[in-house]
A and B are shown apart, each in its own frame.
Chain A
Amino acid sequence: MTDTILSVDNLDVSFQTYNGVIKAVRGVDFDLKRGETLAIVGESGSGKSVTAKSIMQLLPKKTTMIDEGSITYENENLLNYSRKEMEKIRGKEISMVFQDPMTSLNPTMKVGKQVVEGIRKHQSLTKKEAYNRAQELLELVGIPNAKERMDAYPHEFSGGMRQRVVIAIALACNPKVLIADEPTTALDVTIQAQILDLMKDLQKKTGTSIIIITHDLGVVVNMASRIAVMYAGEIVETGTLEEIFYNPQHPYTWGLLQSMPKMHQDRSVPLIPIKGSPPDVSNLHDGCPFAARCPYVMKVCHDHVPDKEQVSETHSVSCWLQDERAPRIKQPDFTGGDHVVQTKTR
């Protein structure tokens, strides 16, 4: 039994569209260790969800091409699995929680039945046992009156409650890996905190490894032990929570941290956004994908993709600034103090 439960190696995913081939994910590498929480952050269109869905193989078969790489779960490459074999993995070994709880439950099926469905698929329980198990799960995720609520339809739940149901469905068969694709983006801030607490709580009880996908660094601080920063389908920087927040190396990570509001900062100081917009992934040039927006861009950035450099054993970055020939740059002040202080006190 190794320490790593799931590893994605050099994954390339592209889509066939009318406008040509779109390379959504390019050479993504990461490992997920048992019991840890890994956050994948990046802006919209950076390939976070595509990476998650390719692990579950939920992308449309006809238009998706996984050109290269492997997704190894418990020493087996999931990309070689047939549809039937994948069905045994989904929900039982690896589960997924989707972004919008308002649309991720079937509107015409009682929630209890939606939870039972997954249980009955993977565990040989009688109807009655599965029903009881589903009710326990709803109680576990904090739904009041679980017994009566089993017979309710999704529209009778609030957004936060629905997300709890979705989490209950995902956890129904004690999966070893839970992929949460922006689980709190569609929720109110107070409910966000509740859902994150719930996920942390459940992780403690079940020991599930979590991949949390988000563009909200606040969520990351609360949940993750390691962070992978994605940009234009590539992971540009990976490190522990402390490494990314205290000692980020990639200009894109700096930009993300700078554009985050800080609690103790003077409100008259404007946030610093990252200039420009994400590149069109259907038309990428040779160099570093961030070159066009990078304030520290050098000539080499436009022509050659930077190699991955290890900053420490756990921290790696793909940026030409790491090269010994690059000029030394004074990092901008992105901490603003409070977010990092917050992690320390937790």
Chain B
Amino acid sequence: MLRYILQRSGYMIVTLFIIVTITFFLMQLLPGTPFSNPDKLSERQLELMEEKYGLDKPVPVQYITYIGNLLQGDLGLSFQYEGRTVGSMIGERIGPSALIGGQAVVIGLLLGVVLGVISALKHNSFLDYGSVFIAVLGMSIPSFVFAALLQYYIGVRLEWLPAALWKDYSHSFLPSIALSVLVIATVARFIRTEMLEVLGQDYVNTARAKGIGEVVVILKHVLRNALIPVVTVLGPLAVSIMTGTLVVEKIFAVPGLGEQFTLSILVNDYSVIMGITLFYSALFIFIVFVVDILYGVLDPRIRITGGKNDG
């Protein structure tokens, strides 16, 4: 197991390195410079600025400098905000994103499982069709539509919850609900399909034949086996939701990572773009790794034995 984790960590570092490299060179293709109003600057001023930020050097040299700094854990300074490190900017912005995203995942998982289970148990009934309808709707309508609807009806018309901005905890509710719709839909759909499949398995009949109560059969034998594939989809979905969703954060004026990311692309803030991309990728790779480990916990058939090759 330890060997496996070390091996995987090695791969993860290699993957990250490749991502850094590709992003770095792709970013050079962005039009414009990181400086606002470059037209108003004289040639001499531009040169001085470029020298200050190291942009006068050839791209490969810049790349090596960046990697060198990165290895020391330094993501660099923002081009846009004087004296701000990229690290501190991410740290400041990730909080709100993670909060609304995390809440969305929790709500989505709970409601999704409930909806999926009901749907599977009442297969082909009115309840089933109803929840499939909700799931299809949730998957096909983008979350910003829900965001706008929630904001207008619950935030503005009914005034039950704050419509926007980021002041106290209650401001996180509406964005979370808007984001959770996709999670609910995805989880419900997967749970339903998997439950129906598992319900047809012989071992469910074996469990019933033992005289086990139906509730225990569903929870211990059916749901547990149905959850395995859901973990696979949920991992990456959780990352993308928790690291900030551009549009929803914009709509609710949440000072999150997604909003920062769009902003930096618009103004060519190279180091921030690099930093956020890197952060996002690292988290993503890490979650995929966690999912793989979790898979083994949930399903002993694919448990990684690492070295002890008898499983």
Enumerate chain A interface residues (CB-CB to B < 8 A): 53, 56, 58, 83-84, 87-92, 95-96, 98-100, 103-109, 114, 117-118, 121-122, 153, 155-156, 166, 169-170, 172
Cβ distance A122 to chain B, nearest Cβ, rounded Å: 6
Q: Which residues of B contact A172 (CB under 8 A)?
A: 210
Q: Which residues of A contact B209 (CB under 8 A)?
A: 56, 58, 90-91, 95-96, 98, 170
A87 with B206, Cβ < 8 A, contacts A103-B201, A108-B300, A156-B311 known: no
A153→B301 contact, CB < 8 A: yes
A98 with B225, Cβ < 8 A, contacts A92-B211, A117-B210 known: no
Q: Which residues of A contact B214 (CB under 8 A)?
A: 83
Tell me which of A103, A118, A122, A156 contacts B203 (CB under 8 A).
A103
Cβ distance A208 to chain B, nearest Cβ, rounded Å: 15
Q: Which residues of B contact A103 (CB under 8 A)?
A: 201-203
A104 with B202, Cβ < 8 A, contacts A155-B300, A155-B301, A156-B311 known: yes
Tell me which of A53, A100, A114, A122 contacts B211 (CB under 8 A).
A122
Distance, CA A83 to CA B216, complexed state (A): 14
Whether B69 sits at the interface, judged by CB under 8 Å, is: no
B224→A108 contact, CB < 8 A: yes
Q: How many A-B residue pairs have CB under 8 A?
A: 83
Q: Mark B218-243, 1 if CB is under 8 A from A, else 0.
A: 00110011001000000000000000
**12 A-B contacts (beta carbon < 8 Å):** A58-B208, A95-B210, A98-B209, A104-B206, A105-B203, A106-B221, A107-B301, A109-B220, A114-B206, A117-B207, A121-B211, A153-B301
A118 with B301, Cβ < 8 A, contacts A104-B203, A105-B203, A107-B225 known: no
A87 with B202, Cβ < 8 A, contacts A106-B225, A107-B225, A156-B311 known: no
A108 with B210, Cβ < 8 A, contacts A103-B201, A103-B203 known: no
Distance, CA A306 to CA B209, complexed state (A): 36
Cβ distance B241 to chain A, nearest Cβ, rounded Å: 28
The closest CB in chain B to the CB of A155 belongs to B301
Q: Which residues of B contact A89 (CB under 8 A)?
A: 211
Sample of 20 more A-B contacts, CB < 8 Å, known A109-B220, A121-B211: A53-B205, A56-B208, A56-B209, A58-B208, A58-B209, A90-B209, A91-B209, A91-B210, A92-B211, A96-B205, A96-B206, A98-B209, A104-B202, A105-B206, A107-B300, A107-B301, A108-B299, A108-B300, A114-B206, A153-B300
B210→A169 contact, CB < 8 A: yes
Enumerate chain B interface residues (CB-CB to A < 8 A): 201-203, 205-214, 220-221, 224-225, 228, 298-301, 311
Distance, CA A205 to CA B103, complexed state (A): 59
Distance, CA A99 to CA B210, complexed state (A): 16
A108→B225 contact, CB < 8 A: yes
A88→B225 contact, CB < 8 A: no
The closest CB in chain B to the CB of A90 belongs to B211
Tell me which of A105, A108, A121 contacts B212 (CB under 8 A).
A121
Distance, CA A122 to CA B212, complexed state (A): 9
A107 with B210, Cβ < 8 A, contacts A153-B301, A155-B301 known: no
A91→B300 contact, CB < 8 A: no
Distance, CA A107 to CA B201, complexed state (A): 11
The closest CB in chain A to the CB of B122 belongs to A62
A87→B213 contact, CB < 8 A: yes
A107→B221 contact, CB < 8 A: no
The closest CB in chain A to the CB of B203 belongs to A106
Distance, CA A118 to CA B225, complexed state (A): 19
Distance, CA A153 to CA B221, complexed state (A): 14
Distance, CA A95 to CA B203, complexed state (A): 14
Tell me which of B201, B212, B213 contacts A118 (CB under 8 A).
B212
Tell me which of A83, A90, A156 contacts B210 (CB under 8 A).
A90
Q: Which residues of B contact A100 (CB under 8 A)?
A: 202
A98 with B207, Cβ < 8 A, contacts A108-B299, A153-B301 known: no
Distance, CA A103 to CA B225, complexed state (A): 13
Q: Which of B202, B210, B225, B300 has the most CB of A within 10 A?
A: B210
B210→A118 contact, CB < 8 A: yes
Q: Which residues of B contact A53 (CB under 8 A)?
A: 205
Distance, CA A106 to CA B221, complexed state (A): 7
Q: Which residues of A contact B299 (CB under 8 A)?
A: 107-108
Q: Which residues of A contact B221 (CB under 8 A)?
A: 106, 109
| Across the A-B interface, the 6 shortest Cβ-Cβ residue pairs | A91-B211, A118-B210, A90-B211, A104-B202, A91-B210, A103-B202
Distance, CA A91 to CA B138, complexed state (A): 43
The closest CB in chain A to the CB of B299 belongs to A108
The closest CB in chain A to the CB of B208 belongs to A58
Q: Which residues of B contact A122 (CB under 8 A)?
A: 211
Q: Which residues of B contact A58 (CB under 8 A)?
A: 205, 208-209
Q: Which residues of B contact A88 (CB under 8 A)?
A: 211
The closest CB in chain A to the CB of B222 belongs to A106
